[in-house]
Structure 1
Amino acid sequence: MTSEHTFTLKQERRLVTEIPGPRSRELQRRRTGAVPPGVGSVLPVYVAEAGGGVVVDVDGNSLIDFGSGIAVTNVGNANPRVVERVREQAGRFTHTCFMVTPYESYVAVCEALNRITPGDHDKRSFLVNSGAEAVENAVKIARYATGRPAVVVFDHGYHGRTLLTMTLTAKNMPYKHGFGPYAPEVYRMPLAYPYRWPTGPDECGPQAAAQAIDQITKQIGAENVAAVVIEPIQGEGGFIVPGRGFLPALAEFCRANGILFIADEVQTGFARTGDLFACEHEGVVPDLVATAKGIAGGLPLAAVTGRADIMDKVHPGGLGGTYGGNPLACEAALAVLEEIERGDLTARARRIGEIMLPRLRALAERHPSIGDVRGRGAMTAIELVRPGTKDPDPGLTSEVARRCHEAGLLVLTAGTYGNVLRFLPPLVIPEHLLNEGLEILERAFDAA
């Protein structure tokens, strides 16, 4: 699984101090005097190096990385190809603003996105800085192109922290609480959540789609809806894979009613799920796609890609931003796309899923607190509940995560109820580290 990759860091878990160690604790003390508490961190170990499947902290501990900076370092942290392209670009120029004097790498990234995103229609792309900015611009474009005000989103969805994307996001705490009033003309519909659908997972997709379409038609009016915005697999909401048939039914409804289908592929994009984009799993071709996270190996970059007839409607100067498509980030993105293709990282993501999902299902058989195992490729999760019920158990979730962290495995939590452990290993993680991480997770459950 890793024969094609050469790592600059030794690919091993190594604990030389407690987690977090003394230097990390000292930096944390400095942080409390400089950074507001509203900026949280999953695990206060301060990073010195990272690469492949490990993160090395300032105390010399080497932790197995099942987070990838929240699905950002898909090609591995400090990927040599990315580093070299960025280094060369930094020596030429670091910024001009594409809206002032443009440059080739921006155009090349847009050409690549137009080529690889779902659908063989004529497309256009433009570049911004973050996933939230991409989603917000996709909605702007949809409203401009359709002349309609309403936007439909779904239960458990997460789309960002700006005013509009915070409004689109479902979860109150910590993302929305106290930050209102929110943006108008945003309507939330039920999601096809197989584990929690009242009649069970088999009929979840068609039933949820019918319910959502009925509510849109009756409560908003399809003729008033500019866009439906959805994550093909929900991220912060708990890695919920919508019931089969849900996404295609929504896309068909949108096509029939002049509504633009916006796929938020911010967390799912760039080979993470075993396809280049998660929409491809059910053959859904969105009108607009928002991408970010895995696009540039850790440099801030995001994009909106869409049908040319839609994207070309916006007047000159209506889209842009000072830093959007920074030349360093563009070179990084071109390197990432090369790495995905040369390393066949979609296949690697599928291989990761083939290893993780059976192990997680076996763990669930031993531990009735695991109510659901789900995901695709290298985007997997387990949902924790009180045994014999579907009542969320966020306390146990936090306890298992804490034990993993102490043992040198970086894991993330998620979910509307705070009861999901999500796993996002780099797609280049060595197989021995992947299996060792799963062993740590198993021991954490046994101990907890």
Structure 2
Amino acid sequence: MEPILWEWINTVARWLHVITAIAWIGSSFYFIHLDASLRRRAGAPAGTAGDAWQIHGGGFYHMTKYMVAPPQLPEDLTWFKWESYATWISGFFLMCVLYYRGADLFLIDQDVMALAPWQAVAVSVGALALGWVAYDRMCKSPLGRNDAALAVAGFILLVATAWAMTRIFSGRGAMLQIGALMATMMAANVFLLIIPNQRKTVAAMLRGETPDPSLGRQAKQRSLHNNYLTLPVVFLMIANHYPLVTSTRYNWVMVALVLVVGTAIRHFFNSQHAGKGSPWWTWGVAVAGMLVAVWLSAFGPALPAGSAASLAPPTKVSFNQVEEIVLSRCSMCHAAEPVWDGIATPPRGVVLDSEAAIRRHATEIRLHAGLSRAMPPANVTQITPDERAILAAWSGDTAR
């Protein structure tokens, strides 16, 4: 009964996380679009940045933005904060349920670094906290006065962190960790700066004082960071389903590429919304970045420490070789009745206990265990680089 209960907790937590993320991303995209589409018009109230007319659901909306605050505080004021809080809380809970509870399978790879589960969890939580502190201090330093320089520094910080995580965790764990770090930065921006600055603005108005304009500028800068980080975070959060992204040799470079691609796509839409034209070159950058990622994924899995720099692919592979590897390295979990402790049913319903089943799942075997290190999780059955090379060279259609 316990595995069934945890599976449902995982399912409901994931569902909640997706729902809250949709709400947060939707409001983020909407307000960045609104801010960019504001136009100054004659006769606008004093202190406004502009207004925008919109139509939706059969009605017209007239939106006006004040540069700092309106002359009087409105009686009803909607705060956009719970979407971000709920997204981070549900995401961290899901991380605890799946990656921290199953750290020995999903977070740790003994061939990368020999860690106890508690050590892996401690490193993960510590990296989230330290990553936020480093980013926040960069924003508050003189570097934060130059948006372009700050963007470059933030890019270097994230890519360097991604590289470091791939030297500590499994490929899947490292990609989730860097995605969680970006999400933590985004949620902390809301919780620790954007909302507090808005509260300071409201408090100043209640005292009859003029709010500090720098509070709004700081909040807008962090909100823009959140907007540009959204697409890379979404990519990294779904990447754990795709072994060629998470578990190949240059997965940390793919993080850099995804940051560039996601930023380029958001820049295209932000520019359009602001009426600054359509920078079609951004789509060229996006396509080129993804093509480079595809090329990098073909280099295969990272080799364990001490292995040869490269392995020559076998010139001839027999099905008997493949069957022996699969039955000895995979079938203890991928069986009608798994014998691995804690696994009640074969993962994803894949059973690999016969020739017909192995041939039927040839593509999945090559992708997850031959071309990448996604399987076995944490390499618990100690499949060797030579064995992976055999699986990578094998095709169910041509093997004999």
Bin of the TM-score, shorter chain as denominator length: under 0.3
Name the one with the larger strand percent: 1
TM-score, normalized by length of structure 1? 0.24
Larger Rg: 2
Name the one with the larger helix percent: 2
